[in-house]
Chains A and B, each alone.
Chain A
Amino acid sequence: MRLLGHKLSIPAQIGLAIIALNLVMAIFAPLIAPYDQAAVLGDAWADPDRQHWLGLDNLGRDLLSRLIYGARMSIGLSFVITALSFFIGIVTGFGAAVAGGWVDQALSRLVDLLLSMPTLIFAFVILSVLGSGLPVLIVTIAILDSTKVFRLARSVAVGLVSLEFVEAARLRGEGWWWIITREIFPNAIPPLIAEFGLRFCFTFLFIAALSFLGLGVQPPDADWGSMVKDYRDMINFGYAAPIYPAAAIAILTIGVNFVVDWMLSIHSRGQGEGA
């Protein structure tokens, strides 16, 4: 099987399948899930049977349906945050690279500062006081995460800016906007796509961790992380309940990482052959 003109490795194929499955789950949840996610259908912690493949949860709701609906919150939220952080990171990163001089220095120092602080602790401190409303969550994490995108976007752009065809454009008298959009951006796409995948995974795991610790998504909304939190006590009695949502998180992340890994290996291989 080939994608973008290159042969897909086996892990990459598995990864793509996983991603596709998750997207389908998220988008078509109401059609796929056997029951409504909030409907109480029986006793708490009823065992799995033919009608309820994974059994019922702590409030008697069907676990499988909750799992399917949970995809929406988890994936949707992470996607929005990653997109926002990407936008911020690319605009500032490319801008810093093209502008150079003190603008670049100032932004880079600021980003260095933000990067040298532990994000989890930071998010903790902010969320513990501001509360975990969705808008706060989204903006805080997007800003904290955009620092890493800034680093990559800037280094890619700096590498490109030093190439003669960018200088040729400047000599022509082209403005910044043209240079960024027409000269730099088209050549920056491959590493950026890979980075998007990585950032998505990180955000996804991060949100889930925050939810797990009680600071992320708040009830009645449910994402996979908060599901793990809700079910965790049962593990001591041998119930695998918290493992299911945790496994869902793990599987999606693995899938995306497989695909990103394949993309990165093509990109570097391609450069070697050109020599």
Chain B
Amino acid sequence: MSVASDKPIILDVRAMRVAVRTDHGDGPVLVDDVSLELRRGEVIGLIGESGAGKSTIGLASMGYTRRNCFIVGGHILFSGADLRAMTADQRRALRGLKLSYIAQSAAASFNPAMTLMDQVSEAPIRHGVMRRAEAEAAAVQLFRELDLPNPETIGSRYPHQVSGGQLQRVMAAMAMVGRPEIIVFDEPTTALDVTTQVECLAAFRRLVREHGAAALYITHDLAVVAQIADRIMVLRRGKMVEFGDARLILQEPQQDYTRRLVSERIAGHAFVAKPEGAAPLLTVEHVTAHYAGKPKVIDDVSLEIFRGDTLAVVGESGSGKSTLARVVTGLLPRASGDVRFDGVSLPPRLKDRPRDQLRRVQMIYQMPDVALNPQQTLLDVIGRPVSFYFRRSRAEVRARVLELLKQMDLPEHFVDRKTSELSGGQKQRVSIARALAAEPDLIICDEVTSALDQLVGEEILRLLKRLQDELGVAYMFITHDLGTVKRIANKVVVMLRGQTVASGDTASVFAPPYHPYTELLLSSVPEMRPDWLDGILARRGANRNI
């Protein structure tokens, strides 16, 4: 997918430098000496982990910076004119018309008090290039191109009346209606479910191609960028690591960092099989649960976990996978069915369970920032389970905490630090240490890597695997990411709307014949082959009854 180099350069960024400046002085540099040339009709993917500066670059290319951020160096030439040299009003005149932006969260980007049509048609009307009738007609046409339901009437709805995936596409229509020359896509599919992602991705790509616009596509997901970008720029901490043709970067990355990003994604097709023990550790039998006065969240779910197993519970949002964890731990009492641990039936309510039963099942959470009390030190957090369950003396507790810190590869002098001083990955390690301090038999991991950067998440997974080999602890691993499942789980349960649609060991669930939903899930996970999207669309188009 390379673009002929005789097309004109529409965006020329030279040595861009963006830094933070407040009343208290100069802050960090967010973007350091980044240059790129974007031609008409071309898509450049900006790839990197959080803090890489990709959003900042996207916004700065429109001449906009967030609060306290300033463009302090370089030139940003749009069709030859330097955005930095223009007045604020001149820049404003370009935005929404020639330069447009699609944000990560559609729900947050729409004014809840205005109809969708009013907001979609607003920019060209206010810029004076279209009349209301013309703008609305163009909007409806775009809705049609984006495969939105009821294109003639969807505009009269309010943002909260429309689903997430649809809203994202309405936002795309809003960005396109002024016939822009450059579109900045800022992580537009990150917040969506994997199955919705495919439709949006296809819609965006079609739009860009048909309207001949140029685009910057910002994402942290290499597989996604592979589907849509002609060239890829890899960013790390504000600096450019590698920049070149998309296929080349994915197949033969030159830089170390790029190689790590690419290889982590591809690795892990080895299914892990483990020998079975005698009796199951955890048995969930025909369990049903619901919140007071509401319909069932979990409907007739059964599963078994043996010692040393890693059972992955997979599903999209609303599947009930997290609720399952709450039912097992007793936070949400089950309405019917049985949960047995080591042969003994667990009381439905948390407060009816004896302390030792509580000790043997521990939980690790998704968001490291709220999983730990910011006012407590590591000694407090990790030491409490030790003193609470085992009644050790202060000295013994401290010794045990230091031992655990070593196991987590965390420096010993962190022991008296407050948790708020640690990074996300470090906090997650502390959460793991806290769980291990109770010497449990089963650890429930609730989306523990979803909130972390890709490479940091990989390290956590490696740590969890190592601990399992050393200690023989079992995991119930809840996630929506199939790639993770394939890497560390030997058994898997697939959930959809509160029910299990497939279960068994990983090898057989992920091999044909599939349950249709499993197939949908598996096929929606973007792979790094650039032609993956075309393949999926072709297959689905052939199967779809219109």
A and B touch in the complex (CB under 8 A): yes
Cβ of A135 within 8 Å of any chain B Cβ, yes or no, is no
B375 touches A171 (CB 8 A): no
Cβ of A183 within 8 Å of any chain B Cβ, yes or no, is yes
Residues of B within 8 A of A (CB): 329, 331, 350, 353, 355, 358, 362-363, 365, 367, 370-376, 384-385, 388, 434, 438
Which segment of A52-60, A161-169, A208-216 sits at the interface? A161-169
Cβ of A186 within 8 Å of any chain B Cβ, yes or no, is yes
Residue numbers in A under 8 Å from B372 (CB-CB)? 165
Closest chain A residue to B361 by CB distance? A171
Can you list 28 A-B contacts (CB < 8 A)?
A: A163-B370, A164-B365, A164-B367, A165-B372, A165-B373, A167-B331, A168-B363, A168-B365, A168-B434, A170-B331, A170-B350, A171-B329, A171-B331, A171-B350, A171-B358, A171-B362, A172-B358, A172-B384, A172-B385, A172-B388, A172-B438, A173-B350, A173-B353, A173-B355, A183-B373, A186-B373, A186-B375, A187-B375
Residue numbers in B under 8 Å from A168 (CB-CB)? 363, 365, 371, 434
Residues of A within 8 A of B (CB): 163-165, 167-168, 170-174, 183, 186-187
Closest chain B residue to A185 by CB distance? B375
Residue numbers in A under 8 Å from B376 (CB-CB)? 186
Residue numbers in B under 8 Å from A187 (CB-CB)? 373-375
Residue numbers in A under 8 Å from B358 (CB-CB)? 171-173
Closest chain A residue to B381 by CB distance? A165
Residue numbers in B under 8 Å from A170 (CB-CB)? 331, 350
Contact partner, B371, options A164, A172, A183, A186, Cβ 8 Å: A164
Q: Counting chain B CB atoms within 10 Å of each CB, which of A170, A172, A186 scores highest?
A: A172
Residue numbers in B under 8 Å from A163 (CB-CB)? 370
Residue numbers in A under 8 Å from B367 (CB-CB)? 164
Given contacts A170-B331, A172-B384, contact A165 B370 (CB under 8 A): yes
Q: Counting chain A CB atoms within 10 Å of each CB, which of B331, B371, B373, B374 scores highest?
A: B373
Closest chain A residue to B23 by CB distance? A7
A101 smallest CB distance to B (angstroms): 10
A175 smallest CB distance to B (angstroms): 10
Q: How far does the alpha carbon of A187 sit from the alpha carbon of B358 in the complex, in Å?
A: 26
Q: How far does the alpha carbon of A167 sit from the alpha carbon of B446 in the complex, in Å?
A: 13
Closest chain A residue to B371 by CB distance? A164
Q: Which 3 A-B pairs have the closest CB atoms?
A: A186-B375, A164-B371, A163-B370
Closest chain B residue to A167 by CB distance? B331
Residue numbers in B under 8 Å from A171 (CB-CB)? 329, 331, 350, 358, 362-363
Q: How far does the alpha carbon of A186 sit from the alpha carbon of B375 in the complex, in Å?
A: 7
A164 touches B350 (CB 8 A): no
A90 smallest CB distance to B (angstroms): 17
Q: How far does the alpha carbon of A57 sit from the alpha carbon of B434 in the complex, in Å?
A: 69
Given contacts A171-B358, A173-B355, contact A165 B371 (CB under 8 A): yes
Q: How far does the alpha carbon of A165 sit from the alpha carbon of B371 in the complex, in Å?
A: 4
Residue numbers in A under 8 Å from B438 (CB-CB)? 172
Residue numbers in A under 8 Å from B388 (CB-CB)? 172-174
A174 smallest CB distance to B (angstroms): 7
Q: How far does the alpha carbon of A157 sit from the alpha carbon of B7 in the complex, in Å?
A: 60
Q: How far does the alpha carbon of A172 sit from the alpha carbon of B381 in the complex, in Å?
A: 12
Q: Counting chain B CB atoms within 10 Å of each CB, which of A164, A186, A187 scores highest?
A: A164
Q: How far does the alpha carbon of A187 sit from the alpha carbon of B375 in the complex, in Å?
A: 7
B349 smallest CB distance to A (angstroms): 12
Q: How far does the alpha carbon of A118 sit from the alpha carbon of B303 in the complex, in Å?
A: 59
Residue numbers in B under 8 Å from A165 (CB-CB)? 370-373
Residue numbers in B under 8 Å from A174 (CB-CB)? 388
Residue numbers in B under 8 Å from A173 (CB-CB)? 350, 353, 355, 358, 388
Residue numbers in A under 8 Å from B371 (CB-CB)? 164-165, 168
Residue numbers in A under 8 Å from B384 (CB-CB)? 172
Residue numbers in A under 8 Å from B331 (CB-CB)? 167, 170-171
B11 smallest CB distance to A (angstroms): 28
B244 smallest CB distance to A (angstroms): 33
A142 smallest CB distance to B (angstroms): 29
Q: How far does the alpha carbon of A173 sit from the alpha carbon of B329 in the complex, in Å?
A: 11
Q: How far does the alpha carbon of A187 sit from the alpha carbon of B370 in the complex, in Å?
A: 12
Q: How far does the alpha carbon of A174 sit from the alpha carbon of B384 in the complex, in Å?
A: 10
With A163-B370, A172-B385, A174-B388 given, can you name 15 additional A-B contacts, CB distance below 8 Å?
A164-B370, A164-B371, A165-B370, A167-B331, A168-B363, A170-B350, A171-B358, A171-B363, A172-B388, A173-B350, A173-B353, A183-B373, A186-B373, A186-B375, A187-B375
Q: How far does the alpha carbon of A174 sit from the alpha carbon of B374 in the complex, in Å?
A: 18
Residue numbers in A under 8 Å from B434 (CB-CB)? 168
B291 smallest CB distance to A (angstroms): 13
Q: How far does the alpha carbon of A155 sit from the alpha carbon of B349 in the complex, in Å?
A: 26
